[in-house]
Structure 1
């Protein structure tokens, strides 16, 4: 037996419900969602509002067109094989056009000279890192 007085007993579920309703709370009315339940509307809205990863700018100037870049020499390096490719802005404009986006041009430059070929599409190619010249 316990040394506690009778007033220390755990209340019954009925007593807990009565206490909760007397304080203005609903008990057991709201159940937590489970794996079989539909996702809440807020979740889907957050998914739709999220900016896709491939549209986020990779570097300061990665999303700019070649004509908008201030540098005369453009440099991109590969985070995978650590190779660096440099091209003069005038040559890049001549090869790809002044409205070409630097991020796409840089990826092309790396892919054209990529030396990491495994034969698997997921692993082939370089991973561009844009840095200052």
Structure 2
């Protein structure tokens, strides 16, 4: 322990005045207030966002589980169960032969998991596997 009083930790009046007169960071910002969460975004923001070519590509791209089997470019299709961690793979050629080219991968994957499901409880809400498409 020291014998110094606690006042040595506080700035002196001269230091306080120096801090008050010092230039503040961000003082040269524009007088326009920032946009808050409840405010509408400017029209220029939306025009730039929607005019970006990546916006069209992302909008046109469907997730793999929503695609038809004929639209998927992979040779091996894999679906796993989030509940029992089981993985089922099927070649695209076999899936096309069994389910047809217009079948949606979500339905095919669910059917593949349900055909070999180990988690049968008898309750509709809890029964079956929970597919995770890869």
TM-score range normalised by the length of the shorter chain: 0.5 to 0.7
**Map of 1:1-133 to 2, 5 A cutoff?**
60-131=63-134
For 1:109, what is the secondary structure of its paired residue?
Answer: helix
Q: What 5-or-longer segments of structure 1 have no aligned partner?
A: 1-58
How far 1:60 moved relative to its partner?
A: 2.6
Aligned residue pairs total: 73
User: What is the aligned-residue RMSD (CA, Å)?
Assistant: 1.1
- Between Structure 1 and Structure 2, the one with more helix by share is 2
CA shift digits 1:49-106 (9 cap, x unpaired):
xxxxxxxxxx831100000000000000000000000000000000000100000000
Q: What 5-or-longer segments of structure 2 have no aligned partner?
A: 1-61
TM-score, scaled relative to structure 2: 0.53
Q: Distance in 2 between matches of 1:119 and 1:68?
A: 36
Q: Distance in 1 between matches of 2:115 and 2:127?
A: 12
Q: Distance in 2 between matches of 1:73 and 1:88?
A: 4
How far 1:119 moved relative to its partner?
A: 1.0
Post-superposition, which runs of at least 4 consecutive aligned residues in structure 1 deviate over 3 A?
none
